[in-house]
């Protein structure tokens, strides 16, 4: 009969256990010093060894040679505990036996000495599921425990164990196990099982468990069921819904190139290859997380579930973005992942989410905007020119506002023989959509477009101008016109304090309103409002007072 790997390779003593060194060490010391508690709480992520350690501890206590930190493994106590049928070791699944009756039974049972062994050990799994009344019954036992009784409560939700119980127990927290240790363990198991698996395959399988040894081993079972004795990385990737570095890096590069069209292609490819869009969104979020960690660490780190050489590409790609960018992308990807969980139109959501990532690349931070304000900026916000990204069209953003004052008069002086926009605007939009520049096309649609002999003048609200992809726009417009065109932009919206904001604010005393007028006429404030037309001035304070 086939036995699942996780069961077959359940560690039988502390030396086989991976991770959880602090648990091993403390328990070993306690056993050697004969300081055995009557109650233990083992808490932590699923599949990290709680039940396993509970059984090892039971063997340590009840082995004929015990109490010992190195149980013999061959006496009837050791053998029966491993098989789960030792008369003095009682395992209770609290998920199905959570009531008062079970606890009463335990209380009765506790009063009698062990039938054969040293201790009577109760291992209660999913202990947080016990009912309140049952906990009370348990508490009575823990308050005056017979010398031979040991309770081990295993749970993923330590905070749901009542304080009255927890304060009478020794608490051990089980950590998620390091990626490299899981890979090592699987190498050992693969060798035992005669399975041929490269480091790459094992690393894919280990990743699937997200720190849970059991989940990684279940993934290994799945891989063996699917591939037989020789595991191929492509097959295993497809099976576990894990995407190659390349397909995720394609997203990063599309952002870098500000290419929304490429994003749509990526979704198209996923669909064509029958890949799960849910999995992709999950892996994408994990990818940004890894890039962010790589960016912060600046070198290979154990916080990333990949071997050192495998981490190199993360470090490379992370260089293309700022920490702030990566945080933003991670955030957006997590939202996308959540949205996809419940979406009836996953493809649409994924497309939207990926295009949003491209747009997010263009969002200017307050620091950058202030830096761009130059001398008008408050001294506190030191200009950070280094933070300016190549992808932000800083030129059209700032230059027209500072060089050419915003006026309602058309800036015809620079234009030679302007031709009516006529078909040109429509043709330009079509060409932009074809090139995948949908947002630029949209911005053009909403702009006043004037075609000159050597330049294309665009007048639109400032926020719209932000979404222009200028270099590509210039190339496409020049091609259409059959001559080289410069792109010139002009903001059309006049910055103003919105009347509603003024009405909302509480009436201010006379001298304050004077202060307000002076503040609002400050060139720095004026330019800030040009950059952020929707911004409202809520209050004005004199910092010298």
Ligand X SMILES: Nc1ncnc2c1ncn2[C@@H]1O[C@H](COP(=O)(O)OP(=O)(O)O)[C@@H](O)[C@H]1O
In this structure, is the dihedral angle defined by the CA atoms of residues 42, 45, 23 and 116, taken in order, positive or negative? positive
Query: Cβ of residue 180: shortest distance to ligand X, in angstroms?
Result: 13
* Of 212, 180, 219, the residue nearest 305 (C-alpha): 180
The interface partner of residue 529, options being ligand X, Mg ion, Zn ion, none and the CB cut-off 5 to 8 Å by kind, is none
φ, ψ at 228 (rounded to 5°)? 80, -145
CA proximity to 258, closest of 324, 321, 350, 334:
321
DSSP secondary structure letter of residue 112: S
- The one of Zn ion, Mg ion, ligand X, none whose footprint includes residue 357, by CB under 5 to 8 A per kind, is none
Binding partner of residue 63 among Zn ion, Mg ion, ligand X, none, CB under 5 to 8 Å per kind? Zn ion
> 18, 68, 72, 445: which one contacts Zn ion (CB under 5 A)?
72
Shortest CB 219 distance to ligand X, Å: 12
Please state, as a whole number, how many other Cβ atoms lie within 10 Å of the Cβ of residue 426.
13
Answer for which of 38, 39, 40, 51 binds ligand X (CB under 6 A) is 51
Q: At 230, list the tokens.
A: 């020789």
Taking alpha carbons only, the member of 46, 64, 41, 44 closest to residue 123 is 41
Helices (H) and strands (E) in the chain, counts: 26, 10
- Please identify, among the stretches 65-73, 213-221, 261-269, 502-510, the one whose residues bind Zn ion according to the rule CB under 5 A: 65-73
Are the beta carbons of 62 and 119 closer than 8 angstroms?
yes
Q: In angstroms, rounded to a whole number, what is the distance separating the alpha carbons of residues 351 and 254?
A: 13
User: With contacts defined by CB under 5 A, how many residues of the chain interact with Zn ion?
Assistant: 5
The answer to whether residue 47 forms part of the interface with ligand X (CB under 6 A) is yes
- If contact means CB under 5 to 8 A according to the sort of partner, which of Zn ion, ligand X, Mg ion, none does residue 86 touch? none
Written as six digits, the tokens of 445 are: 């649609």
Using N-to-C axis directions, what is the helix angle for 438-445 and 470-481, rounded to 10°?
70
**71 binds Zn ion per the rule CB under 5 A:** yes
Query: Can residue 239 be called a binding residue for Zn ion (CB under 5 A)?
Result: no
Secondary structure (3-state) at 93: strand
> Mask: binding to ligand X, 147-166, rule CB under 6 A, as x and -?
-------x------------
Residues 6+ apart with CB under 8 A from 7: none
Q: In the range 176-235, which residues lie near ligand X by CB under 6 A?
A: 177, 213-214, 217
> Minimum CB separation from Zn ion for residue 146, in Å?
23
Q: Does residue 49 touch ligand X according to CB under 6 A?
A: yes
Q: Is 182 in the site for Zn ion (CB under 5 A)?
A: no
Q: Which of 20, 24, 51, 233 binds Mg ion (CB under 5 A)?
A: 51
Q: Considering CB distances under 5 to 8 angstroms, the limit depending on partner class, which of Mg ion, ligand X, Zn ion, none binds residue 362?
A: none
Residues that bind ligand X (CB under 6 A): 6-7, 9-11, 17-20, 46-52, 154, 177, 213-214, 217
């Amino acid at each position: 009969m086939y036995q699942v790997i996780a069961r077959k390779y359940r560690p039988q003593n502390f030396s086989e256990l991976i991770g959880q060194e602090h648990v091993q060490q403390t328990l070993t010391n306690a056993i050697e010093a004969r300081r055995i508690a009557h109650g233990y709480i083992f808490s932590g992520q699923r599949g990290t060894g709680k039940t396993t350690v509970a059984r090892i501890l039971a063997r340590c206590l009840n082995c004929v040679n015990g109490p010992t930190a190195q149980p013999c493994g061959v006496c009837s106590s050791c053998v029966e505990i491993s098989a789960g049928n030792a008369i003095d070791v009682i395992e209770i699944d609290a998920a199905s036996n959570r009531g008062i009756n079970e606890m009463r039974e335990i209380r009765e049972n506790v009063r009698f000495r062990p039938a054969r062994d040293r201790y009577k050990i109760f291992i209660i799994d999913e202990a947080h599921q016990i009912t309140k009344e049952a906990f009370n019954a348990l508490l009575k036992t823990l308050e005056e425990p017979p010398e031979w009784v040991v309770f081990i409560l295993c749970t993923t939700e330590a905070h749901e164990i009542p304080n009255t119980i927890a304060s009478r127990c020794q608490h051990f927290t089980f950590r998620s196990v390091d990626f490299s240790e899981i890979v090592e363990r699987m190498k050992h198991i693969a060798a035992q099982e005669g399975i041929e698996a490269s480091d790459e395959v094992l690393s894919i399988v280990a990743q699937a468990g997200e720190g849970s040894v059991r989940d990684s081993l279940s993934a290994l079972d799945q891989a063996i069921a699917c591939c037989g004795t020789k595991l191929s990385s492509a097959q295993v990737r497809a099976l576990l819904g894990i995407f190659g570095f390349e397909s995720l890096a394609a997203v990063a590069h599309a952002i870098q190139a500000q290419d929304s069209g490429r994003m749509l292609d990526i979704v198209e490819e996923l669909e064509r290859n029958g890949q799960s869009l849910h999995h992709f969104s999950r892996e994408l979020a994990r990818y940004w997380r890894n890039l962010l960690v790589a960016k912060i660490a600046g070198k290979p780190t154990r916080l990333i579930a990949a071997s050192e050489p495998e981490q190199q590409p993360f470090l490379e790609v992370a260089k293309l973005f700022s920490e702030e960018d990566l945080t933003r992308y991670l955030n957006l990807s997590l939202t996308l992942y959540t949205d996809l969980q419940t979406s009836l139109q996953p493809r649409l959501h994924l497309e939207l989410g990926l295009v949003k990532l491209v747009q997010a690349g263009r969002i200017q931070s307050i620091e950058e905007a202030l830096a761009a304000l130059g001398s008008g900026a408050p001294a506190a916000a030191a200009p950070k020119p280094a933070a300016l990204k190549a992808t932000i069209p800083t030129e059209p953003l700032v230059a027209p506002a500072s060089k050419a004052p915003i006026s309602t008069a058309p800036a015809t002086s620079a234009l030679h023989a302007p031709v009516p926009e006529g078909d040109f605007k429509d043709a330009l939009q079509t060409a932009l959509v074809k090139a995948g520049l949908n947002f630029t096309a949209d911005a053009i649609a909403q702009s006043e477009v004037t075609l000159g002999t050597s330049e294309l003048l665009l007048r639109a609200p400032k926020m719209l101008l932000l979404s222009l992809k200028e270099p590509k726009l210039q190339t496409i417009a020049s091609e259409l016109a059959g001559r080289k065109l410069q792109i010139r932009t002009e903001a059309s919206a006049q910055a103003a304090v919105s009347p509603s904001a003024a009405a909302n604010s509480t009436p201010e005393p006379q001298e304050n309103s004077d202060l307000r007028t002076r503040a609002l006429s400050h060139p720095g404030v004026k330019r800030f409002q040009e950059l952020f037309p929707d911004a409202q001035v809520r209050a004005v304070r004199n910092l010298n007072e």
